[in-house]
Structure 1
Amino acid sequence: MDNEFVKVPEDQKKLSPGKLFYNWFAANIGIMGFVYGAIIVSYHLSFLQSILAALVGALSFAIPGWVAMIGQREGVTTFKLSRAAYGTHGNKIPNFMAWLNMVGWLSVNVITGTLLFSAMLKTINIPKNEFTTAICLIIFAGLVIVSGVFKEDTLAKIQTWLSWIFGVLTLVILIIFLYNANWAEAVNMKSGHWLTGWLPAIAFIAAGSSISWSMAAADWGAYVRPKTRPAATFWNTTLGAATPLFVLMAGGILLSTIEPSLATSGNPYDVMYKAIPSWFGFTYFLIAAGGLIPQCLISFRSARINLSTIGIKVSQRTSLLIHAIIIIAISIYVLFISGNFLSNFELFLNFLGICLASWVAIFLVDSILYRKNGYDIKLMNEDSVTHYNWGGIISWIIATIFGFLFTSNAAYRGIFAHGIFENNSSLAVFVSGTAAIVVMFVFSIFKRSSQNE
């Protein structure tokens, strides 16, 4: 099989580092960042500890930055690169889970965006009913699905404009929150425990943001201009995502001083709505809904790339249709049939996060140990003779099991989920990733020993 079936064609590598920055900036400008900040405070941390947790959590986007840099160097998208670490057949399982994760969170965001559009209409006295909700779903899902016909450079331009529009508008909301914040209360927040409070807060941010986005990083990095310095790809990915996320989380930390229920509310958007002037209501919900669109664009694009990498070969039009049907079907079920489905669905997606944390850890360790001189194109071809790379596969299985042993949430509790792991599934993501690194290095020691004999 020729390289063109694995590598991105040279004439399609048009992304500049600046466009890459705006791509990730737009994906993280959504006002859910305020909620993340409030959740950090819920770990009973001081203002300084909270800000530091937000900073470290945001900078964990160095992980996607690293993946994007590899993608740019090789000119290959994420899960084609991953074939080297797992084998062409062994790669299909984490590849499929990544696809499920992308489609799942995309559906959640479409549902949320639809509800926010409905709330926006209520501010101008248009009643919320099944008809208006259906119209909002058609508009929001339609905007996302239409993006599927655009190429990478066009999407990057769209993301740039979305960054400016929603970045400026979100900044207005941030200023309102900062003006209303109780600064004295923020500064006087008592210090929490670094191990049982600060570390889990970082784990939550990383699990909910950077680790989830890692699977899409090389999908954009592979389209960066060939002569771009790898460091530019790394920093524009890392800081493009980390900058807005950190600023918004800092705002959320202060917002929690006037709206303490923000971290625990089932509808955090309504809680934030109470903290702004009533005349700003329509614009607020427009920003909240619109800010979800860039995230949906990235998820939608990577989901279609992942489906192709699994080995399901369909035309772009058919792929677009398949994903559109799945997303709309899930949204209709949640919005019009069973409102209780969403929380259970999000738990399922959190379980997938443990699987993906071990995947990205193995992917990066494999790159360090075995791909210093670049990736062998033969390992990434679909007809590669290396169907199973057992070192990567066994490491992934062991690490994922470790993650589940330490996870704890409303649906499941692992046998080791005690102490700082109790009711804290995010730390299990760290356990999974750490276990993957350790097992991979152990395998490499055995491999070197056997080669020296």
Structure 2
Amino acid sequence: MNEQQQPPQSDKVWSIELHGIEPIADNERHGTAFELFWVWFAANIGILGIVYGGILATSGLNLWQSILVALIAPAASFALVGVLSIAGKWGGAPTLTLSRAPFGTRGNLGPTLISWISLVGWETISVITAAYALLGLLNLVGLPSNVFWTIVSLIIIAVLVVVIGLLGHATLVWIQQAATWIFGALTLVVVVFLLARTNWSAVLAAQPGPWDTGVLATLSIIIAGTGIGWANAGADYARYLPHKVKGSSIVGWTVFGSTLPLFVLILTGRLLASHLSNLASAENPVLAIGSALPSWMAIPYLITAIGGLVAGADLSIYSSGLNLLAIGLKIERYKTVIIDGVLMIAGAIYVMLIAQNFFTPFESFLQLLADGLTAWSAIFLIDMLKRRSYNIAGLTDTSARSSYFYIAGINRAALIAWLLGILAGLAFTVSPWFSGPFAIGIFATSSLGYLIGFLVSALIYWLLFVWGAKGQSSADQQSSSYELPREVTL
């Protein structure tokens, strides 16, 4: 099969994608692993990366510690995204549809619901930030920042996100490539001007911060806010790739495409915080960053902010729609995007007009959802280690005939491991909304709870599988015309 096969009629640019969560057939596979570079680069050029840099400064990290965190956090977290994306090539289905294999057709409902909430939350955060940027742009032409224009800004951004999400996979990949070139270049220009405002004497004279409450704490926060938030969506963008595409290429382009922009933006935020002390806690981070730029840069800066944030929100709303289908909603894929768009607007209105606070809900959202997502990803990863294929019919059949129905539709080994991992993570988690009973000492400041949950879920699921609570249906071993070829390397 030609790795660069032309896209099928069901996945054409500027046409509504016809596929939902059903696995992609061999004759409709197309593209190369390199397209994942565009997908993940554009998804991570949003202005929130600069806010992460402000968090590093607030936590007392010096320049070299900040460089370390800015490199390790996105690279490590997106390595997980890349590895889990390989399952998309194996099974040709979205991530949370493939998750039926380890969890069972009914047991998978819990992880899918958590995943859906996470994605809707992320798209809402991106839309809120982009709406703030558009509101700032409207201010430049003399319009006020009142309730009316705030809602108008929200609706404009939301409609843009929903329209692109409606069209689907091929259009998203095209948009992400264009966004990488256009908004990547504009972001670079903005970064140069921001760096010109750096107080270099203060930055270079800064003493090292604490490694437990500083480096570990920020490392865990940024990991949760970057790759962990996308782990449940990676296979969604790899499922059209031909079987012969190397897994190592999928991981490599995913990590490189995401880490490059995040490293630059996080480090820029750290340097910018040398004279913009409220960067991490600003109610409106877009305007806070813009205040450090010359006035003539305001328009290109705000356009850049909007473009980068919309590029990330597009992916979130597309994947959240696929999650609704995986939950069992019996409608066309594009209609799920409209449902999520309505919820996204409602959430954004609450944060911008009622709660009127950005950082506190943002931090709590990241920390609490990370516990559920990392525990799920640990089980999904262990399941991948013992398979190289999926029973295609079993993924789409949710009846008792499904090879992934297990006992009453639930693989108890996976469900137990997931729930115990969440409980372990929450027990060591501290957030503005919740603090676990064991979140003391280093855990009170390091936000390491979700990593503990990951290890607990992985260990328990592996032990239950080894000891006889089998986590794989016998149907996985049966040959089928739909079965994918066995692959010996990632």
TM-score normalised according to structure 1 size: 0.92
Q: Is the 8 A contact 1:403 1:432 kept in 2?
A: yes
Output the amino acid matched with 2:43.
A
Indicate yes or no: 2:391 matched with 1:376: yes
Q: Which residue of 2 aligns with 1:429?
A: 450
Q: Which residue of 2 aligns with 1:262?
A: 279
Match for 1:406 among 428, 433, 453? Answer: 428
Q: Which residue of 1 aligns with 2:33?
A: 17
Q: 1:380, 1:317 → 2: CA distance?
A: 21
Output the amino acid matched with 2:458.
I
Q: 1:374, 1:105 → 2: CA distance?
A: 30
Alignment CA distance shift 1:56-1:395 (3 Å): same
Q: 2:187, 2:105 → 1: CA distance?
A: 43
Q: Is the 8 A contact 1:121 1:282 kept in 2?
A: no
Shift of 1:337: 5.1
Q: 2:359, 2:121 → 1: CA distance?
A: 10
Output the amino acid matched with 2:258.
A
Indicate yes or no: 2:45 matched with 1:29: yes
- Structure 1 window deviating more from structure 2 (312-321 vs 175-184): it is 312-321
Per-residue CA distance 1:170-200 (angstroms, 9 max, x = gap) = 1011111222212232222211233332222
Match for 1:444 among 465, 469, 484? Answer: 465
Give the count of matched residue pairs.
Answer: 443
Match for 2:263 among 246, 269, 281? Answer: 246
Output the amino acid matched with 1:51.
I
Alignment CA distance shift 1:134-1:198 (3 Å): closer
Per-residue CA distance 1:145-188 (angstroms, 9 max, x = gap) = 11133231222111110111110111011111222212232222
CA RMSD of aligned residues (A): 2.2
Q: Which residue of 1 aligns with 2:192?
A: 175
Output the amino acid matched with 1:263.
A
- Structure 1 window deviating more from structure 2 (190-199 vs 213-222): it is 190-199
Indicate yes or no: 2:69 matched with 1:53: yes
SS of the residue corresponding to residue 375 of structure 1 reads coil
Q: 2:83, 2:201 → 1: CA distance?
A: 39
Shift of 1:378: 5.4
Output the amino acid matched with 1:56.
I
Alignment CA distance shift 1:261-1:138 (3 Å): closer
Q: 1:149, 1:396 → 2: CA distance?
A: 32
Give the helix-richer structure, 1 or 2.
1
Q: 1:340, 1:198 → 2: CA distance?
A: 26
Q: Is the 8 A contact 1:79 1:95 kept in 2?
A: yes
Q: 2:449, 2:22 → 1: CA distance?
A: 34
TM-score normalised according to structure 2 size: 0.85
SS of the residue corresponding to residue 293 of structure 2 reads coil
Structure 1 segments unaligned to the other structure (5+ residues): none
Q: Which residue of 1 aligns with 2:89?
A: 72
Q: 2:21, 2:160 → 1: CA distance?
A: 30
SS of the residue corresponding to residue 145 of structure 1 reads helix
Q: Is the 8 A contact 1:177 1:255 kept in 2?
A: yes
Q: 1:300, 1:22 → 2: CA distance?
A: 17
Q: 2:355, 2:431 → 1: CA distance?
A: 22
Alignment CA distance shift 1:418-1:188 (3 Å): same
- Structure 1 window deviating more from structure 2 (175-184 vs 190-199): it is 190-199
Q: Which residue of 2 aligns with 1:392?
A: 414
Output the amino acid matched with 1:375.
Y
Match for 1:89 among 96, 106, 118? Answer: 106
Indicate yes or no: 2:124 matched with 1:102: no
Match for 2:253 among 236, 248, 251? Answer: 236
Q: 1:121, 1:221 → 2: CA distance?
A: 38
SS of the residue corresponding to residue 266 of structure 1 reads coil
Shift of 1:335: 4.0
Q: 2:73, 2:296 → 1: CA distance?
A: 34
Output the amino acid matched with 2:259.
A
Q: Is the 8 A contact 1:19 1:157 kept in 2?
A: no
4+ residue runs over 6 A deviation? none
Alignment CA distance shift 1:12-1:349 (3 Å): farther
Q: Which residue of 2 aligns with 1:190?
A: 207
Q: Is the 8 A contact 1:25 1:163 kept in 2?
A: yes
Shift of 1:18: 2.6
SS of the residue corresponding to residue 44 of structure 1 reads coil
Q: Is the 8 A contact 2:413 2:469 kept in 1?
A: no
